[in-house]
Structure 1
Amino acid sequence: MFLKIGELARRAGLTVRALRHYGDIGLLVPSERSSGGYRLYDRKDVARLYRIQALRRLDLSLAEIGALLVDNDAGGLAGIVERQVAQLDREIRQASALRTHLLAMQGQLQASEEPAIDDWLVALESMVAGAKYFSDDELRTLASQRDGQADAVAPERAELTALLHELIASGASPEIPQSQALAQRWIGMLLAETGGDEGLLMKLYDMHWNEPSLHSLTGVDREGMRFISHAMAFARLQLYAAHCSESEMATLRAHYVAQTDAWPPLIAEVRQQMLQGALADSAAVRALALRWQALSLAKAGGDAALHIKLQDAFRNDAALRAGSGIDAPLAGYIGRAIAQLGTATVPSP
């Protein structure tokens, strides 16, 4: 019995794109091809996919999984089981910590005391973000940054949230100075919360964008996030004035901010490929590099010379990079992918 790629993807809870990527990197090559060239998977392929997915749950990169699957002896399997046990131990500790935290909140509620917003966020992150968005180390980083700062940050967060609602309700443009100042303070607050880690900043954005339950707790929904993102783009646009002529700035003002909404999901996809160990010259990463290159050129209005000037400015001006979600490892990774396309420039927001 053979399964076509669409059927296997549906029954395995994966995307067709993911299975194609597994094939491109040699991790799961289908045993057969139909006369029409369609990929066909047999029982052995499905069993291999099961092992791949079991190892993915252990937070291993695809490169690590490929190396482990080469070793099919008992010793290799014993190592996998050992990792599974360690993973379960971590999940038990996380569940125990969450239970303790919830019991404390329960005590507050029974005493008619409203838990602080950070208490709710800790609980929500433990339930949602712990496994879905952040690794154990990343959660520890967020927790350590929060320790001792929650009381100090809460008033600023409340002030910024109120100002955000006021600006949106009044129909204010993200371009006005008040909006830009709000965005810069907001991103600064989040960077402090993540210890200056641009990767964690982008994961926070991804979590808040995709988890509606967070919106009621933070007071910031997708409309608010988009407002902040666009205001930050206008603020960053002003910084390019030190690197561009008046005519170039006119081009940027016509095209730059229009690309804003497309950057965060693309940056997140590239980072995910990097963390999974996908090679920079793999088909999936090359496709992302093409999208990155096209977006980067579009913000320059298709002007190749201006495009290169923007890359140089972003590379050399730390203020332009702050809050972009792009750190040195990611820039190097996408840079290698873009080099495969025949260009030496590294696009950026």
Structure 2
Amino acid sequence: MFLKIGELARRTGLTVRALRHYDAIGLLVPSGRSMGGYRLYDRKDVARLYRIQALRRLDLSLADIQDLLDNAAGGLSEVVARQVAQLDREILKASALRTHLLAVQGQLQANEEPGIDDWLVALESMVAGSKYFSDEEQRTLEAQRDGFTNAVAPERAGLSASLRELVAAGASPESPQAQALARRWIELLLEEAGGDEGLLMKLYAMHWNEPALHALTGVDRAGIRYISHAMAFARLQLYTPYCSAGDMATLRQHYVAQTDAWPPLIAELRRQMAADAPVDGAAVRALALRWQALSLAKAGGDAALDAKLRAAFRHDPALRAGSGIDATLADYVGRAIARLDATSIS
């Protein structure tokens, strides 16, 4: 007995589109075809479809399911073990969050207002997670924060208060007070990230994007932008040994104006790099072109000054600290730009 695709879809509750997709990827190929070219499914096909749907309930990918079904040696035990391990990790996270929330609840019941960092730990567990960090990155952050968060909580609260005062007073981010605050803010964030510039950028993205964090910390996007601009002015001063007086005049006019464009560009390049995207692929090429344009723009269009800035950045660790750009990313971008240059020459 054979079933046509429409009949199989009707009797299994699947869509014709899903069955066609299964056929296209080789997961469920019908055993026959009618004279008119219609797909025909026999008993063995229906049995395979049953196993597919059963494995889907384990939240396996279609690729994993196909590998299991096509591998005579089985491998199902290993897959189930992976699922159990994943559940164990989720249980541990949920248990840690529960313990922390019980502590917060105890403070509230004792009429004590939990500190900002108490709320942040709970909030980050709920709103961040896999949205910003991999499991390994979350473990790194948790280990790094152990004993660190409470120790710096008073200083962070003081920095937040000072930041709000500077912004409210209309103080320029170029002021010495703003630059000192920004340097310390980034130092603490980088310390929280264990010195990992990639994690730093993800923390920055989380603080930029999550309104709940803005409400809890009292630092919204305007405050984060103020810190970024103050940090840009602080970094600008570090270029003095590498530039002439005329160069510095040009930089003061153009350098900081490009500040807001860099974090999303760096974040996207890091995402492409993590995905092993080829440096000569269309996506990375477009990002490399944007990188070149921003570099030249901050040098006021002066190619010679741009070259000086790039050389200084490569050789001076102080310029790189807190920028989100480490040696790995710099190499990745460098190779992408080299491919652009090679293409333009040819």
Change (3 A) 1:73 1:130: same
- 1:86 CA displacement: 3.2
1:8-29 deviations in Å (ceiling 9; x for gaps): xxxxxxxxxxxxxxxxxxxxxx
1:174-211 deviations in Å (ceiling 9; x for gaps): 11111111111111111121121111111110001110
Contact 1:251–1:300 under 8 Å retained in 2? yes
**1:133-172 matches, cutoff 5 A:** 133-172=132-171
Change (3 A) 1:115 1:315: same
Structure 2 partner of 1:197: 196
**1:14-53 matches, cutoff 5 A:** 43=21
Equivalent position SS for 2:113: coil
Amino acid at match of 2:285: R
- 1:106 CA displacement: 1.4
- 1:297 CA displacement: 1.1
- 1:96 CA displacement: 2.1
**1:176-195 matches, cutoff 5 A:** 176-195=175-194
- 1:253 CA displacement: 1.1
Equivalent position SS for 2:267: helix
Amino acid at match of 2:109: Q
Change (3 A) 1:72 1:288: farther
Change (3 A) 1:275 1:118: same
**1:76-91 matches, cutoff 5 A:** 78=76, 83-91=82-90
Q: Give aligned pairs, total.
A: 293
Structure 1 partner of 2:10: none
**Worse-matched range after superposition: 189-198 or 318-327:** 189-198
Equivalent position SS for 2:322: coil
Partner Cα distance (2:174, 2:23) in 1: 53
Partner Cα distance (1:82, 1:223) in 2: 47
Structure 2 partner of 1:313: 312
Partner Cα distance (1:213, 1:323) in 2: 24
Structure 2 partner of 1:279: 278
Equivalent position SS for 1:151: helix
Change (3 A) 1:45 1:132: farther
Partner Cα distance (2:64, 2:334) in 1: 26
Partner Cα distance (2:235, 2:65) in 1: 45
Change (3 A) 1:293 1:45: farther
Structure 2 partner of 1:118: 117
Equivalent position SS for 1:204: helix
- 1:45 CA displacement: 8.9
**Percent identical across equivalent pairs?**
71
Residue 254 of structure 2 is aligned to residue 255 of structure 1: yes
Structure 2 partner of 1:220: 219
Amino acid at match of 1:200: L
Partner Cα distance (1:69, 1:238) in 2: 58
Amino acid at match of 2:312: A
Change (3 A) 1:278 1:83: farther
Partner Cα distance (1:263, 1:76) in 2: 48
Structure 2 partner of 1:5: none
State the structure with bigger RCO (CA 8 A, min sep 6), 1 or 2: 1
Partner Cα distance (1:268, 1:335) in 2: 16
Structure 2 partner of 1:12: none
- 1:131 CA displacement: 1.3
List gaps (5 residues or longer) in structure 1.
1-41, 345-349
Please say which structure displays the higher CA radius of gyration.
2
Change (3 A) 1:102 1:80: same
Change (3 A) 1:305 1:84: farther
- 1:46 CA displacement: 8.1
**Worse-matched range after superposition: 94-103 or 202-211:** 94-103
- 1:301 CA displacement: 1.1
**1:52-131 matches, cutoff 5 A:** 73-74=70-71, 78=76, 83-131=82-130
TM-score normalised according to structure 1 size: 0.76
Equivalent position SS for 1:302: coil
Partner Cα distance (1:321, 1:132) in 2: 26
Partner Cα distance (2:63, 2:295) in 1: 33
Change (3 A) 1:165 1:131: same
Contact 1:68–1:76 under 8 Å retained in 2? no
Amino acid at match of 1:136: D
1:254-308 deviations in Å (ceiling 9; x for gaps): 1111100000011111111111222222211111111111111111111111111
